[in-house]
A and B are shown apart, each in its own frame.
Chain A
């Protein structure tokens, strides 16, 4: 059974710092991996999607990498801002299209000004 783990569970940094969020999964047979942002009491905002054949994806200050063989992904946030404060969720799709996602518990990020 696929399990997704995110470390750390919480992170506090001062504004301007670069930071890395970690995600690991137990079954490397994934279709893709997606990073989401969730603000308190809100739904999910998709940040980056990495297909199983890809190594990384970039969007603005965000960069996500995927090492499928080792079951790991990282989300790199450059020059963090207070507006980045949120919970970041990592989720994997099983090895075919149209399947549900399996989520980690998330990393709650707090960026202080």
Chain B
């Protein structure tokens, strides 16, 4: 099956710093990638849709200036949490659908645990 990687798997940072999370599709190209966020004991909520070569689209309530998304190539999308605060502490996970014809099964990265002190 298709493989999606994320880096780093875990990051601890001080309040006010910026953190970059990478999402890579290892064996397929992804023109679209999705970023989700999961708070403790909650389900995954879509934050934004990352589109290769164009601007990301954000879900209602997600600050686009705080969560910067760059999808510079067909295999890499990055999420930068700018000026992180403790309330941004969460589990961030990306996914990518393979090309059409593979039943649109979503493949997820292993996630990144962000802790902001």
Contact = CB atoms under 8 A, between A and B. Distances in A.
B49 A97 contact: no
Interface residues of A, number: 24
Interface string B38-51: 00001111100100
Given A31-B104, A51-B103, A101-B95, A43 B110 contact: yes
Interface string B93-117: 1010100100111111111010000
A42 interface: yes
A60 interface: no
B34 interface: yes
A49 B103 contact: yes
B105 A105 contact: no
Contacts of A41: 91, 113
Contacts of A105: 42-43
A109 interface: no
Interface residues of B, number: 26
B85 to A, nearest CB: 22
A83 interface: no
B23 to A, nearest CB: 12
B113 A43 contact: no
Interface in B41-94: 42-46, 49, 91, 93
From A91, A99, A105, name the one whose CB has the most chain B CB atoms within 10 angstroms. Answer: A99
A89 B105 CA distance: 15
Interface in A90-111: 91, 93, 97-106
Contacts of B25: none
18 contacts: A32-B103, A34-B106, A42-B110, A43-B6, A43-B108, A44-B44, A44-B108, A49-B103, A89-B44, A91-B44, A93-B104, A97-B97, A97-B100, A100-B95, A101-B44, A103-B43, A103-B45, A105-B43
Given A43-B93, A100-B34, 4 more contacts: A46-B107, A98-B32, A100-B49, A105-B43
